[in-house]
Amino acid sequence: MEKVIQVEGLKKVYGDLFAVNDVSFSISKGHCFGLLGPNGAGKTTTIEIMEGIIPASEGKVLYHGQEVDDSISQQIGIQFQHTALQDFLTVKETLNLFTSFYDKTLPHEQLIELCDLGEFLDRDNRLLSGGQRQRLLLALALINDPEIVFLDEPTTGLDPQARRNFWQLIKNIKAQNKTIILTTHYMDEAEQLCDDVVIMDHGKIIESGAPQALLNKHFENIFIYLPTSQVDSSLVAKNNWAIQEEKIEIISDNVEKTLAYLIEQNVSLQGLHVKSANLDDLFLKLTGHSLRE
């Protein structure tokens, strides 16, 4: 698989603070690559160095084997975490404005279809909903037909339906063999979209790989949850089961055997919830605190 981007020994230091501390990874062409971690983990600083916005203190970023320089701005697309749109312009006028910034651009008809902008093309930017605004910002990131697209926490603040609609747009873009770098602290988003991820905390990479491969590596068990009111406290103590909020957490390597045991102990299975480990569980295991803190 062709490596589009290589990040080697990246460091960014502010006084005594290592915002990014010896980070290295590579990204394959056509993949969606996720940088995961809580606020302050170093995700945004890492991609800002990759985008050529800020310089690294040490290390380098290579695009197709060449170090990043000022020309990179014409070759990549960026959807920033916070972007101000010009007031009193419509969506159509905003597309025209951003088209003037680049030597090569996609036809507006293609952008409108790809990002589903048709229903609000003549609407003032100030009147856009959160989901509509993000779709416009995605179109602006794609306006120069980039090979590589950076999306910095693009669905933060969106409602669940708008998030899922946005995920489909990202999948459509990836289907065009574009390489996507996504930062997010939503683990369901990463599991849905990313081929590979790195998990960062305190400026360092603490784990990396394909999401399912990482889960298979770190978890062999299934989680079973029952309301505390249905399980006798002596049974909980006997089996050393954990209590989380108002639920009993049972970690099992054989669900059928565990359920048979519960029935044998006359435990009601009403409200039973069974789930496999996810990336949020992995982060909790690796760092001792939740990814959403």
Distance from C-alpha of 252 to C-alpha of 203, rounded to nearest angstrom: 34
CATH superfamily entry for domain 3-216 = P-loop containing nucleotide triphosphate hydrolases (3.40.50.300)
* Amino acid 293: pLDDT: 46
Confidence band for 37, pLDDT divided at 50, 70 and 90: confident
Give the predicted TM-score (pTM) of the model. 0.84
Residue 291 has pLDDT above 70, yes or no: no
- DSSP single-letter state for residue 192: H
Mean pLDDT of 251-273: 92
Please write the tens of the pLDDT for every residue from 204-245. 999 999 999 999 899 888 999 999 999 999 999 999 999 988
Mean pLDDT of 139-151: 94
Mean pLDDT of 70-86: 83
Task: Point out which residues pair with 181 in neighbouring strands.
Answer: 33, 150
> Phi/psi of residue 71, each to 5°?
-70, -10
Q: Which residue in 178, 11, 9, 210 sits closest to 79, CA to CA?
A: 178
- The per-residue pLDDT of the chain, averaged, comes to 90
Confidence band for 1, pLDDT divided at 50, 70 and 90: confident
Distance from C-alpha of 175 to C-alpha of 179, rounded to nearest angstrom: 10
* Amino acid 289: pLDDT: 63
3-state secondary structure of 233: helix
Please write the tens of the pLDDT for every residue from 171-198. 999 999 999 999 988 888 999 999 999 9
Residue 279 has pLDDT above 70, yes or no: yes
* Amino acid 83: pLDDT: 81
Please write the tens of the pLDDT for every residue from 85-142. 888 999 999 999 999 988 889 999 999 999 999 999 999 999 999 899 999 999 999 9
Residue 292 has pLDDT above 60, yes or no: no
Task: Give the Cβ contact number of residue 228 at 10 Å.
Answer: 15
| CA torsion, ordered 224, 225, 228, 230, to nearest 10 deg | -70
